Chain A
């Protein structure tokens, strides 16, 4: 079956029309693109973004400090468990004497954490520190200086002194939650 010349012409007309339509659209989109080039937002990040960035840095420093505090506390606990129950043999009829527990030399706690001890958690909810709270873990009690409270978004009265808090650590020793005891 042969095609008639009229069919070809009609097909070409449709093609030409479609091509023109697409060209018109491309041209309009190019104009829109050119217009958008004139939209010039500020070249420097706004203060809100920079503050969020600084907060990340402070939180990271604090987490790092809390991790070392937990490590120091765990080392102390291990040393106590190892040396505490040991007793000296009785001498000269004197009853056994308990040797005072010797604390193992612990890693120096960073300035942010003034005191760190393992403790039973008190009642109350933990505030998550950038992730889900672990189902199981351990709690480290710390005294946070005022300067660190600001990094957690908490305003403290000047001269209020360190604030006792409990840090919930996961099994890897990463701080996952915090709650303030005062």
Chain B
């Protein structure tokens, strides 16, 4: 039985050698996060389940795909998931449609909240995220929802940390604008100065 505190790298080595228990520990450690990421990205529970399983299959099959020098196993797994989803969307010729099931989340599903206004806000933010371009959506999901470090996200996205920061900044601005409550009687608010937005990004 592998030690639950064993590093991912060692578990990965053992799983690739055919150790089912090591695979089980890796699965328990990362599967839920990969599933959530895929579901936030696609808005489709079944597709997310398939994506997460494919990630682990790829993990077993790729001989030398993971390089510990480049970051943690988690970032590597998110990267596989992102590529798999992109490929799947290209094959299906669809771009992250918002699933009916997701749009109609069951009452009380929002963190146990019964407040209809809050549910509506969550549904709106989910729609807004689904409408973002893929590279912005992935950054928002990983940084803001999965609360991953910039380094992990950079590894998953295959880009520098600075690019992750700028994409997150831009994505947040887009989301905030989409979530702006409609105020037909008031004049449009002036755009925030660039210095303010930059300050948020650096925070």
Measured CB to CB, the residues of A under 8 A from B are 10-11, 14-15, 17-18, 21-22, 24-25, 27-29, 31-41, 43-46, 48-50, 52-58, 60, 130-131
Q: Would you call the interface of chain B mostly helix, strand, loop, or mixed?
A: helix
**In the complex, what residues of A have CB within 8 A of residue B24's CB?**
44-45
Q: How far apart sit A2 and B61, CA to CA, in the bound complex (Å)?
A: 68
Residues in B with CB closer than 8 Å to A22 are 172, 176, 200
**Given A56-B16, A57-B17, do A45 and B200 touch, yes or no (CB 8 Å)?**
no
Proximity string of chain B (38-73) to chain A, C-beta cutoff 8 Å, 1 when within and 0 when not: 011000010001001100110011010000000000
Q: Is the CB of A31 within 8 A of B122?
A: yes
Chain B interface residues toward A at CB < 8 A: 15-20, 23-24, 27-28, 31-32, 35-36, 39-40, 45, 49, 52-53, 56-57, 60-61, 63, 105, 109-113, 118, 121-122, 124-126, 129, 140, 144-145, 147, 172, 175-176, 179-180, 189-190, 192-193, 196-197, 200
Q: Say whether A39 contacts B17, CB under 8 Å.
A: no
Q: Among A25, A32, A55, point to the contact of B176 (Cβ < 8 A).
A: A25
Further contacts, 13 of them, CB under 8 A, given A25-B179, A39-B32, A54-B20:
A15-B196, A21-B176, A31-B110, A31-B118, A34-B111, A35-B122, A38-B109, A45-B24, A45-B27, A53-B15, A53-B18, A57-B19, A58-B18
